[in-house]
Structure 1
């Protein structure tokens, strides 16, 4: 069943676990996310980034997600990820997305607050929850996300941002990257603790791919309720396709995409299991 994303995150916040948010952009990625969630018996968030709009017909995409959501008793959310344009957000809301992220990290704090507050007011009129971001992430290897400046989130600014904008959950920059890390990760969990003290709403961790398991577990205990994963799933799919191409002469496209989906499901199950088990440690 399709639910509001905030509903999932409030429960995660209460029980101290995190919900996996997988970037999806075609039938195989969508099906992989549903199959992985059903296999693990856990909720899931399907996230479509604004950058994928040119390759995705939004009405058909959302209809596919809604159709599959109706077939499962598990709560499923449909999220717009890293949107910079108001038009994209309005379009997603009209298509039935249950949450949207306005990425105003390129602006100074005052302008970020002003624009995010406007988006939150629009989304809340239709019962759609909103994610905002303070700070910015760098881009690592194998990512197709835009490069950020890597500025970490200031706890006091984050608290002010959350109060002034009325957002429902906040993406905090604590040293993770989009993509895979170049060298050793430097993730500031003490900063996350300080942010958690200043921000009462659910916190989001972008850059789940390649982040060490022990860091993930600690971050969840410090308030992270949603973890975005894109690159790790993409790499698994490409590797699955490459293995099929290497082992077959002119394999049928359906075989290639089927193997890609199986490879993605394996990674997604691992993530869901890790994110949901933190409360049990």
Structure 2
């Protein structure tokens, strides 16, 4: 009986890389499904990124994740961008197929999958805090999923306006910008509220968004992208106001699920990934 000793190779390229828990999550879910696959956590400097990408191609990798600071820089080494990655202007997942390097962005896809467990964004009015990488991905994927309106609330006008312009130019959603220089009251007609900033992320867990919490209504779904801690002040406040809440753990898990599907074609069990993350963040 012939044996195949060739593992499916995947990786993460980031700098710094030591605190990235993804490798533990990937190893756990590969083992659970009996997949002969490896996920290698690599610290890659910006100067070495091109060499790393060419090396992954030469060694027959199925693909790799790209984290900070490589999400934009990596694009110059790729052959193709998926539609949402092209609009977002950033890549966090590369698929290697038939010798071609295809840039994807799983941040927004992971969020929309998580969101759909409580509400479909199609036809909904959204408020998104932030205009950085996570906010851009979430806004674009939500727009492509059929969101009706997206209000981007951001402290930096230029960055927020760039995101709004991209959504209006490349999707059917109607986007507007609010300059976040005051305590923001969420409009009563809002269906979905998303914190896509780092406010409240460990270790600064006592930080709060500059919003009027009295404007949170029971009709709203309130989501936070922060996975650690999973229960942020925003989600606690929203739950107290009767809102449906969604933590950042689901987005993180689904990013990984989407990446594995792109690399291997296998749909993996998100609960295995979530339990692993919860153990790491405990």
User: Shared fold (TM-score greater than 0.5)?
Assistant: no
Which bin holds the TM-score, normalised by the shorter protein? 0.3 to 0.5
- TM-score when scaled to structure 1? 0.32
Rg bigger for which structure? 2
Q: Higher helix share goes to which structure?
A: 1
Q: Which has the higher contact order (CA 8 A, sep 6+)?
A: 1
